[in-house]
Every structure is written in C-alpha cells, then in structure tokens.
C-alpha cells in the first residue's frame, strides 16, 4: 500500500503541478507559485530552496494524500467505485481549501484571498488531481 501510494502520489502530484504551472504560464495567475510556496514555514521557509526541493516538499504532501486515500479505501470502506470517488474528492477538496491559509500566510506574491479566478483555477487543478487518483488506482 505504501509503495502504491508513493507511485500514485508521484504521478498525481506531478500532474497537479503541471496543470497549475500551465495555468500560471498562460494566464499569469500565480497558482503554481502558491503550490510550491513554503516561505511562511518556520526555519525551512527562510532557505532559498532549489526548485527540485520545492517539488519534493509538494510531492511529500501528495504521497501522504495518496496513502491516506488507499488506507481509507482498504480499511474503512467496501472499496467500491462510490467509496473511491467520494474519498478522492473529499481529500482533494480538503487539499484545495488550503488555498486560503496558504495565501494568507504567504510572504512572496501569491493570488489574493478573494481572487475568484485563482480560486477557480486552484480548485480545477485539485479536481484533476482527484480524477487522476481514482483512475490511476483503478488501472493499477
């Protein structure tokens, strides 16, 4: 389960990052910057990390989400289609709701708390994450 969770978390985390990077690149809305931003975290936020370390931090969260998803499906549900979709969507919506504290805590430039376009892009990215999580789980 851990190995599969790391694999699922890596693929879905990369997909989320690529989607948000593309959105930021094409629109200028800083949702990708928000995804990788850790400048507000005590001690590690003071370090100028290379991009691959920022991605590592992001993927660590994605691994945790994927492992929680798999554990919930395995131990707390019948593992059916409805359980997979509801679990993935719930975890993704919870992750998407981090938009508000991440934006509020950020030191470097990120979207405004009330930027509805940025919020929409952020939630779209996280819904893509949920869909990919379920589909990849079904295919493996």
| Residues 5-33 pLDDT 10s | 999 999 999 999 999 999 999 999 999 99
Q: Is the per-residue pLDDT at 77 higher than 90?
A: no
For residue 79, give the 3-state DSSP assignment: coil
- d(C-alpha 48, C-alpha 53), whole Å: 10
Buried residues in 109-126 as b, exposed as e (16+ CB within 10 A)? ebbeeebeebbebbbebb
Report, as an integer, the average pLDDT of 62-81.
Answer: 90
Structural domain boundaries enclosing 91:
2-139
How far is C-alpha 19 from the geometric centre of its chain's CA atoms?
11
Domain count for the chain, please give it: 1
The average confidence (pLDDT) of the chain is 95
Q: Is the per-residue pLDDT at 46 higher than 90?
A: no
pTM for the model? 0.92
Is the model more confident about 109 or about 118?
118
pLDDT of residue 117: 98
């Amino acid at each position: 389960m851990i190995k599969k969770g790391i694999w699922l978390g890596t693929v879905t985390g990369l997909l989320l990052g690529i989607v948000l990077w593309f959105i930021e690149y094409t629109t200028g809305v800083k949702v990708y910057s928000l995804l990788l931003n850790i400048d507000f975290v005590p001690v590690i936020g003071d370090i100028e990390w290379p991009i691959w370390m920022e991605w590592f931090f992001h993927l660590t969260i994605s691994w945790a989400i994927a492992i929680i998803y798999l554990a919930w499906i395995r131990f707390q549900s019948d593992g059916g289609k409805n359980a997979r979709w509801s679990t993935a969507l719930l975890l993704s919506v919870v992750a998407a709701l981090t938009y508000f504290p991440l934006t509020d805590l950020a030191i470097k430039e990120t979207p405004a708390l009330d930027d509805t376009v940025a919020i929409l892009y952020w939630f779209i990215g996280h819904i893509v994450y949920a869909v990919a999580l379920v589909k990849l789980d079904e295919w493996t």
